[in-house]
C-alpha cells in the first residue's frame, strides 16, 4: 500500500521547506520513542514521520514524488520513490535517517545552551555529605560547612586560554561544540570533550584554570541540623548553592547527613535498641545494672527469672519524633552467660538448688 507523505506530516501539498521542517519537528517530538517508552507504536510512527521528511525535504526526491503522484490516481506508484531500491540506496537511507535524528537531537541541545547563554539563569544546586556523631544526631547541632563551586576564571574570562591567544576550530566537533554518540538505535549529542562545548580550541591553555575556564571557590556557611536526624536525611538550604548567571537566582545546597554508628546503641526508626549480657545467677535472682541511654547512664532493673534473649521496653527513651509528639522507646535485649565448667562444689550446689 502506498503512503501519502503529506498526510503523514499533516501538511498541504505544495508546502514550503520551512513548513515541512516545522511539521516534522512537531511530530518527531510527539512520537519520539524516548518520550513514549510504553507506547509500542511510537517507534514505528517516528520512523514513518522520518521517512516522509526524508523524501519531502530533498528537492530532487520531492519533485520525483510529486510528478509520479500526478500521473497516478493514487500514491501506489509513488511508493517506489519513497523507498530505496538498491543496497547502496539502503545504506544512504540509513545514513540519512541517522543524520536527521542527529539534527533533531541537536536542535534541543543548542536551544538549551543558547537560552543559558542569552540571559539570566539559575545557579546549579550543590549536594554535599556531612558526617555527625550519634549524639549530635540525637540532640541536633550547628555546624560550619565549606561549600565549593566553580566560578569563571578571572584571568582568561572563562575562555580557558591566555588573553590574546588565537583560537582554532575544534577538529573533533568541527566547531559545533557537540559530538554524536550512539544510544541504542539512535544518535544523541553530547558536549565535545576536546573543547568543552566551545567549538574552538587553542594550542595553549590558561595556567590558572588549566584550560577549564573555571576556578573553584569556597564559601563557608553555618547550618542547623534538627534533633533526631537520621542517617541519609537530605536537608535543603535555599539560595546557598552556586550563584546564578547574569543576575539569575542562586541554586540550593543539599546536605546529606551521615551518622556515625554508636558502640552500644542502634537506631531503628525513632526507637533505640541495645543488648546487655549478665551471668546466669543474676538472671535467676535478679539485679540492677547501669546501661547507656540517649539521656546518659541509667539504672536498669533486671527482674528475677529473666530468660535468655528476653527484651524489655524503656518507654520514652528513644529519638524525638518528627511530629514533635513525644519520643520513641528503648529496647533492651538480655543475654545470659552460662558457665562452661563447674567445680565439684558449684555443681553440688546447683544440683541441690
SS3 134: helix
Return the pLDDT at 276. 94
Bridge partners of 218?
148
Return the pLDDT at 91. 47
SS3 126: strand
What does pTM read for this prediction?
Answer: 0.47
Torsion angle of C-alpha atoms 79, 85, 88, 94, degrees rounded to 10 = 40
Q: Left (φ > 0), alpha (ψ -120 to 50) or beta: where does 88 sit?
A: alpha
Contact 196, 212 (CB under 8 A): yes
Instruction: Work out whether the CA dihedral 192, 197, 199, 204 comes out positive or negative.
Output: negative
Query: Which of the residues in the chain have pLDDT under 50?
Result: 1, 73-91, 94, 103, 106-107, 109-111, 114
Bridge partners of 189?
180
Bridge partners of 320?
327
Contact 119, 247 (CB under 8 A): no
SS3 117: helix
- Bridge-based pairing of strands 234-237 and 141-152 is unpaired
Q: Nearest to residue 45, comparing CAs of 61, 62, 66, 24?
A: 24
Domains (range + CATH), the chain: 5-118 (1.10.287.110), 266-352 (2.60.260.20)
Return the pLDDT at 41. 80
Contact 55, 9 (CB under 8 A): no
- Angle at CA 328, nearest 5°, toward 326 and 331? 150
Crossing angle for the helix pair 87-118 and 42-56, nearest 10 degrees? Answer: 100
Return the pLDDT at 166. 66
Q: Nearest to residue 139, comparing CAs of 1, 294, 262?
A: 294
Q: Left (φ > 0), alpha (ψ -120 to 50) or beta: where does 209 sit?
A: alpha
**DSSP summary character for residue 321:** P
Which cell numbers in the block locate residue 181?
554518540
Amino acid at each position: 500500500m502506498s503512503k501519502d507523505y503529506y498526510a503523514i506530516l499533516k501538511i498541504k501539498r505544495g508546502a514550503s521547506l520551512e513548513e515541512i521542517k516545522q511539521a516534522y519537528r512537531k511530530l518527531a517530538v510527539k512520537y519520539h520513542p524516548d518520550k513514549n517508552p510504553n507506547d509500542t507504536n511510537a517507534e514505528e510512527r517516528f520512523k514513518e514521520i522520518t521517512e516522509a521528511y526524508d523524501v519531502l525535504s530533498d528537492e530532487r526526491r520531492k519533485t520525483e514524488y510529486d510528478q509520479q503522484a500526478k500521473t497516478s490516481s493514487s500514491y501506489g506508484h509513488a511508493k517506489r520513490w519513497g523507498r530505496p531500491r538498491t543496497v547502496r540506496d539502503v545504506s544512504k537511507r540509513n545514513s540519512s535517517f541517522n543524520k536527521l535524528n542527529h539534527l533533531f537531537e541537536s536542535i534541543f541541545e543548542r536551544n538549551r545552551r543558547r537560552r543559558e547563554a542569552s540571559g539570566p539563569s539559575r545557579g546549579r544546586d550543590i549536594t554535599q555529605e556531612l558526617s555527625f556523631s550519634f549524639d549530635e544526631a540525637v540532640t541536633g547541632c550547628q555546624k560550619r560547612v565549606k561549600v565549593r563551586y566553580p566560578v569563571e576564571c578571572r584571568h582568561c574570562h572563562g575562555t580557558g586560554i591566555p588573553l590574546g591567544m588565537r583560537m582554532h576550530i575544534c577538529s573533533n566537533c568541527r566547531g559545533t561544540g557537540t559530538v554524536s554518540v550512539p544510544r541504542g538505535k539512535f544518535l544523541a549529542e553530547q558536549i565535545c570533550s576536546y573543547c568543552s562545548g566551545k567549538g574552538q580550541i587553542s594550542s595553549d591553555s590558561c595556567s590558572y584554570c588549566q584550560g577549564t575556564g573555571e576556578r573553584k571557590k569556597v564559601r563557608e556557611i553555618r547550618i542547623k541540623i534538627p534533633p533526631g536526624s537520621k542517617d541519609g536525611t537530605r536537608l535543603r538550604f535555599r539560595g546557598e548553592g552556586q550563584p546564578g548567571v547574569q543576575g539569575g537566582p542562586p541554586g540550593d545546597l543539599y546536605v546529606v547527613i551521615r551518622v556515625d554508628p554508636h558502640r552500644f546503641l542502634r537506631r531503628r526508626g525513632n526507637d533505640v535498641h541495645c543488648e546487655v549480657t549478665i551471668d546466669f545467677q543474676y538472671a535467676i535472682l535478679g539485679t540492677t545494672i547501669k546501661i547507656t541511654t540517649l539521656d546518659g547512664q541509667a539504672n536498669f532493673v533486671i527482674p528475677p527469672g529473666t530468660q535468655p534473649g528476653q527484651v524489655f521496653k524503656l518507654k520514652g527513651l528513644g529519638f524525638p519524633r518528627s511530629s514533635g509528639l513525644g519520643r520513641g522507646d528503648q529496647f533492651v535485649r538480655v543475654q545470659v552467660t552460662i558457665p562452661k565448667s563447674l567445680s565439684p562444689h558449684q555443681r553440688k550446689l546447683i544440683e541441690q538448688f
